[in-house]
Amino acid sequence: MAVSDIAVIIPCYNHGRTIRETLESVRAQTRQPAEIVIVDDGSTHLQTRQVLRALGAAAYRVVHTANRGVAAARNHGVRLTSAPYIVLLDADDVLEPTYLEKTARRLDEKPAVGFVSTALQAFGAASYVWTPPPCTLLNALARGTVHPATMFRRVMWEAVGGVDETFRTCEDLDFWIAAMEAGFEGEVLEEALFRYRVREESKHHNHVSRGTYRQVKLAVLAKHQKTIEALGLDLLRLKEEFIVEQRTHLAYLETQMREHERERQQLEGEIAVAAQRLRERGRDILDWGDLRRWTPLSPVWGIDRGKIIDRYYIEAFLTEHRADIRGRVLDVKDSFYGVTYGSDAVTRVDVLDIDPSNSEATVVADLTKADEVPTGTFDCFLLLQTLHIIYDVRGALFHAHRILKPGGVLLCTLPAVSRVNCEGAALEGGDYWRFTEASVRELFSELFPLEDFEVHAFGNVMTDAGFLYGLSTQDLPPEALEFNDPWFPLVFCVRAVKAPAPAAAKT
Amino acid sequence: MMVPRSESSPQDIFEAFIQLEEQSCDLLKRAYALEHQLDSALSPLVQRRKAELQRLQGRLAAADDEQQHTGRMKELERDNAESRQHIETLTAALARAEGMLAELEGRRRRGWRRYFSPYRASRQRK
């Protein structure tokens, strides 16, 4: 069989943060698939929708459907492909590089085998290796069966009528049982070539904890009643054995819980003693060093010490998007960034300010009510660290979008963390907001189509703390500036392009 | 645990299996709850507290080292002060001895003059 006879179907429901890793693992396969289809099962998260649009723009085949569950998404993807070997890969799981090669080779070598699975390596919230039991109906019904990314033949999928879309969980168990009932044999490779991501909020865990798993599983079993009856006492014995194993496992977990709890209590005691001994020696529990102070080292964001930390990210962002800073550029308060970071194609830099006394201002306007600035005036608007000091953020962004020419670019940065503005009477007004990634996405999605803007989060807990303490980039270890932790951002940088159409509506 | 006899009807088998499955589902649910608590909460918490204890013990050891170091420094400083005092005493004794020697020398010279002066005078008179 030719090397390009594999289709990989990736159903995706709100897995925008992991799907790239999943795709990279497919791209890194030693035997490449002929087809990759991503089925967006009606994702609701903006970030996922943006990632899927970007993947579509990057020539991946992405199809969008209403949310109908993973079974329907898998079937839809299979129908869109024609390769004889199929892998259904969830958008948060990962294949080892030889997964397709080794599973497909087994199908190549053994025409009688309908599906080939592997051991799996769990990662994420748990770490373990699990090898599915041999593929028999007895095992499938009594002990469980192969993982969903098991490679199978298209003829098998056709023979069983695809994945049963009536099941919202246990759909894969039903599929493998149906396949074996139809006479298809399966094999398991001992090597853990499939990496299964365990997430606290996983669908499977939710179904089990809410009890819907039990309900659906009984429905799946009812569907296969004849098989269960035919397997008879052998099945009951095996199930009982399995239950004994489950009880043993449960007892082991309970012991683990007790031991961990005992260890935790012991640790708390030792920690309290160590802390007390430190206090007796007149020491702090934590070595605060130079940061043991109640006021920042610099009250002016560290400008008196060196480069301001957030500017490191903002300037890197502007450098990366220098080509967007072209034609007629609008800067705020002064023309520094437009002039310094503008490309050779800048024809003019205007300066926007609400304050008429600013002699540099060429556009004096309140951005929230900037009706006097003509629509479609600027090729690029540098709206840097400004929106947080405007109460009506939506109004300001509306006009920022409006005054851009079609195809014009808004380069916008917003703080996630910052001291209260020390300029003017900011405590009384003039510094209103800090942002999160979600709020930035929502805000921009109200004006820009999802595929026309991207949000990047920069910074980490050290840069955030350093920024609040008024440190400069020179005070930080250089590597601290290169690590971005989405849970502790310092600044968000947004590149948004105004659609060529005069009124781009929310999509 | 219920095990149907070999002559059980297919329906009995199915019902018995469903009962076993229900037990299995309950066990799975309990196991997941414990695994979730272990993997997501307790194990990471124990690891974090272990790390915290290590950090505190490291800090304590450093404080003890520093305290020992400070003690030794004080001891050395005390030794140093005593040595300095001893040197001062010796220096003073030396100075006193040198003074006495000088005085002795002066007396010796004066004595010499007294001894030879009458002789020199008689010679001059001659």
Chain B partners within 8 Å of A248 (Cβ): none
Residue range A271-285, pLDDT digits in tens: 999 999 999 999 999
CA separation (Å) from B72 to A44, A278, A294, A409, B65? Answer: 67, 20, 34, 68, 10
A263 interfaces chain B, CB cutoff of 8 Å: yes
How far is the C-alpha of B72 from the C-alpha of B68, rounded, in Å? 6
Amino acid letter for position A144: G
Mark yes or no for CB contact A271/B56 under 8 Å. Answer: yes
Long-range Cβ pairs for the range A304-308 (8 Å, 24+): A305/A470, A305/A471, A305/A472, A305/A474, A305/A475, A306/A472, A306/A473, A306/A474, A306/A475, A307/A472, A307/A473, A307/A474, A308/A467, A308/A472, A308/A473
What is the percent of chain B with per-residue pLDDT over 90, rounded to a whole number? Answer: 53
- Least confident stretch, A2-6, A307-311, A352-356, A423-427: A2-6
ipTM above 0.85, yes or no: no
Q: Are A89 and A95 in contact (CB under 8 A)?
A: yes
Report the greatest alpha carbon distance in chain B: 167
* CATH code assigned to A6-223: 3.90.550.10
Q: Please give the Cα distance from A71 to A171 (Å, whole number).
A: 7
Residue A200 has pLDDT above 90, yes or no: no
In this predicted structure, what is the pLDDT of residue B2?
A: 52
CB spacing of B45 vs A214 below 8 angstroms: no
Q: How many CB pairs under 8 A join A and B?
A: 135
The answer to whether B61 faces chain A, any CB pair under 8 Å, is no
Q: How far apart are CA B120 and CA A384, in angstroms?
A: 111
Whole-model pTM: value is 0.81
> Is the confidence at residue B126, as pLDDT, over 70?
no
Q: CATH for A309-497?
A: 3.40.50.150
pLDDT band at A24 (very low <50, low <70, confident <90, very high): very high
Of the candidate ranges A4-8, A139-143, A387-391, B122-126, the one whose mean pLDDT is the lowest: B122-126
Q: At A1, list the tokens.
A: 């069989």
Residue in B20, B31, B60 closest to A250 by CB: B31
pLDDT digits (tens, 9 = 90+) for A36-74: 999 999 999 999 999 999 999 988 999 999 999 999 999
Whether residue A249 lies within 8 A of chain B, CB to CB, comes out as yes
**DSSP sequence for A472-490:** BGGGS-GGGGG---TTS-S
CB spacing of B18 vs A218 below 8 angstroms: yes
Answer yes or no: do B25 and A213 touch at CB < 8 A.
Answer: yes
The one-character DSSP state at A497 is: E
Count of alpha carbons within 13 angstroms of residue A15, beta-carbon side: 26
Residue A247 in this model has a pLDDT that exceeds 90 = yes
Q: Do B31 and A246 touch (CB under 8 A)?
A: yes
Q: What is the rounded average pLDDT of the residues A406-421?
A: 97
Is the Cβ pair A229, B6 closer than 8 Å?
no
Asked whether the beta carbons of residue B23 and residue A285 sit closer than 8 angstroms, the reply is: no
In A, which residues are within 8 Å of B67 by CB distance? 281
Angle in degrees, 0-180, between the axes of helices A212-223 and A171-181, rounded to the nearest 10: 10
Q: Tell whether A214 lies on the interface with B, counting CB pairs under 8 A.
A: yes
Is residue A186 over pLDDT 60?
yes
B36 with A281: Cβ contact below 8 A: no
Which of B14, B18, B38 should be substituted to probe chain A, the one whose Cβ sees the most A Cβ atoms within 10 Å?
Answer: B14
Nearest by CB: A283 against B20, B21, B63: B63
pLDDT digits (tens, 9 = 90+) for A447-457: 999 999 999 99
Selection from A446, A1, A51 nearest residue A10 by Cα: A51
pLDDT at B29 over 80: yes
User: Is A209 within 8 Å of chain B by CB?
Assistant: yes
pLDDT band at residue A506 using 50, 70 and 90 as cut-offs: very low
Give dist(CA A8, CA A83) in Å, integer: 9
